[in-house]
Amino acid sequence: MLSKKTKYGIKALSYLAKRTDKSPVQAAEIARSENISPKFLESILLNLRKSGFLGSKKGKGGGYYLIKDPKEIQMTTVIRVLEGPIAMIPCVSLNYYEKCEDCPDELTCSVHKLMIEVRDSTLKVLGENTLADLS
Amino acid sequence: MLSKKTKYGIKALSYLAKRTDKSPVQAAEIARSENISPKFLESILLNLRKSGFLGSKKGKGGGYYLIKDPKEIQMTTVIRVLEGPIAMIPCVSLNYYEKCEDCPDELTCSVHKLMIEVRDSTLKVLGENTLADLS
DNA sequence: TATAAACCTATCGGTTTAGTAGGTTATTGA
DNA sequence: TCAATAACCTACTAAACCGATAGGTTTATA
């Protein structure tokens, strides 16, 4: 399950991607428009700025803006930053790999192979979609 | 992320599916063989029995056994029982649907469409695999 | 009748989630 | 220069969930 943090983050990015002009948008405006708790969204936007998705401007007329072209932002990278691993289990994660304590051998694990299949199909969908595709 | 409960449950079911004879297997044996906390596994097996996957026999020589042919058990149904929804977000779940509080309209939600795509690709993989395929 | 094994209930420490509160810093326009 | 604005930062919290543990009850077998 996607956390609200991730969902809100995607909605905020998508909100910015839809705008034609690239002037800064205040966090409060996004929060209002997308029905997100303002303070919670603030922390998410901060996170997205530190991760290199957003730029920001302080003071009056300030706000957040997209740094890259929405077409260049794959959903895989967005979700990895906000949510963490895309795989359903750490032992098949490409970016957040972790060995299972209970498995002596991954190759004979009945769950492992299945989860690789799931991971790859999910990666395909998320890799083919960019921020620009969220309409 | 899959919970350990789900992972252990799948491993236990797979352990039973691999056996040629269909005599009951004790929870403790599965726990030992799969490196699972015995008491935790007990509660999972109980869950699987109540959900109709397993039968059980009490007393000496008792244990758990598969009720159906492993080929007939789709991984979708296993995961739904153990983990809950397969979708990454409740508003696209087929079996555990829930409306989002923040979305006035699902059709215009940028996250919604993407998550339907992810859901469908995951359902395809899990639907094509049965307990028998876990080898 | 002793033993084995499923079954049941309750509890628990730790972590994560989804926020809230309250203040600090930097920019802008009057 | 000063007040307003909006990002930035730190800390806290209530509730839920997770992974397990403890301890007892029931039922079947030898």
Mean pLDDT of B66-73: 97
Mean pLDDT of A78-100: 97
CATH class of A4-66: mainly alpha
- Evaluate if residue A125 carries a pLDDT over 90: yes
User: Are A101 and B35 in contact (CB < 8 Å)?
Assistant: yes
Residue type, A134: L
Residue nearest to nucleotide C7 (CA to C1'): B46
User: Is residue A123 within 8 Å of A42, Cβ to Cβ?
Assistant: no
What is the rounded distance in angstroms from the CA atom of residue B33 to the CA atom of residue A108? 13
Residue whose C-alpha is closest to residue B86's, from B2, B21, B14:
B2
pLDDT digits (tens, 9 = 90+) for A34-60: 999 999 999 999 999 999 999 999 999
Residue whose C-alpha is closest to residue B78's, from B29, B5, B19:
B5
Residue B64's pLDDT band, with cuts at 50, 70 and 90, is very high
Q: Is the CB of B121 under 7 A from strand C?
A: no
Q: State whether residue A2 sits within 8 Å of chain B by CB.
A: yes
What is the rounded distance in angstroms from the CA atom of residue B10 to the CA atom of residue A135? 38
What is the dihedral sign for C-alpha B102, A71, A81, A110?
positive
CA-to-CA separations, B111 to A15, A28, A61, A85, A124, in angstroms, rounded: 11, 20, 28, 18, 17
- Evaluate if residue B22 carries a pLDDT over 90: no
> Residue-wise over A21-35: b if at least 16 C-beta within 10 A, else e?
eeebbebeebbeebe
Cα–chain center distance at A62 = 23
What pLDDT does B21 receive? 82
Chain A residue closest to B114 (CA)?
A: A134
CA-to-CA separations, B50 to B112, B118, B125, in angstroms, rounded: 33, 30, 26
pLDDT digits (tens, 9 = 90+) for A64-80: 999 999 999 999 999 99
Chain A residue closest to B14 (CA)?
A: A110
CA-to-CA separations, B80 to A71, B47, B128, in angstroms, rounded: 35, 12, 15
User: Is residue B25 within 8 Å of B19, Cβ to Cβ?
Assistant: yes
User: Is residue B78 within 8 Å of B53, Cβ to Cβ?
Assistant: yes
Chain A residue closest to B84 (CA)?
A: A1
Q: State whether residue B113 sits within 8 Å of chain A by CB.
A: yes
Structural domain spans, chain A:
4-66, 74-134
What is the rounded distance in angstroms from the CA atom of residue B116 to the CA atom of residue B114? 5
Mean pLDDT of A14-29: 94
User: Is residue B121 within 8 Å of A118, Cβ to Cβ?
Assistant: no
Residue A22's pLDDT band, with cuts at 50, 70 and 90, is confident
Q: Is the CB of A46 under 7 A from strand D?
A: yes
CA-to-CA separations, A45 to A25, A40, A42, A77, in angstroms, rounded: 11, 9, 5, 15
Nearest nt (C1') from A60 Cα: D5
**Secondary structure class of A100 (helix, strand, coil):** coil
Distance from CA of A59 to the nearest CA of B (A): 28
